[in-house]
Structure 1
Amino acid sequence: MKLNVFSIILYVGTAVTVAALAYASYQSATVAWSVGICVAIGLVVYAFRFLPEPKKVARPVAAGPQRSPAASAAIVVAVIFGLMLIVPTVVLWIGNYSPELGALIGAVALMAIFLILWLRSRYQQSRSGEEG
């Protein structure tokens, strides 16, 4: 990455965040578990970049009414938003029994949003072969 003002801010911000998380992890086991979970999820997300590109598959045109891509995206966002409304209640309920498990469930729920959107984008990329 070429050094500019934004990359310097990114590097300094990352260093400060890492230092704050390291200090907080030293002070609290719950924070240490949360940081460890986030690092593990980050490694999994980093590993996703090594997956092959989706193949362009020509699909037959279906007869009948077609749903617009905007309507499909609105449905996906509405379902995700609706499910995210119950996540804090579930995390707090599980956190009463085990704070570490509550942090894990919360992290998995947040990453599930990005996983769903990532899978949808890969699906759209595979369908773009028939349009272009």
Structure 2
Amino acid sequence: MQLSDVTEVESEEMDLGYELPDHSCLQEDEIPRVGIRFVQLQLAHEFYVTYAKKVGFATKIRTTTCDKITKEPVNQAIHCNRKRFRRSRVKAPTWKNTISVTGCKARIYVKFDKEKQEWVFFKVELRHSVNPEKLANN
């Protein structure tokens, strides 16, 4: 299986406001890419959180898979916190602090390389959904 830095995105997704974040304010080594290695899972998480803050979005850990025997994590998916579509359980007139959830595709997948005893980014999606207000103002 061949891994790539950015997964394929269908053209209709691009029409919905997905774009690569502006990386002009970042050093090359601050941009996530497949193959970056870390000695601890926490360091991989902190790297992506720092990147996300610099380009303008927040993250959340979406899934963590643990080894069935040792119960130690073996891989983790960290997504933009606007990934999922959801409906509010509170009636609209009483809901004041809405969170824009746009189905964003920005995410990384990190797994533990048993051979080298390191955590490695094995899938990276840098495309981020544009804020709907930003689209309306363009």
Q: What TM-score range do you get, normalising by the shorter chain?
A: under 0.3
Q: TM-score, normalised by structure 2?
A: 0.26
Q: TM-score, normalised by structure 1?
A: 0.27
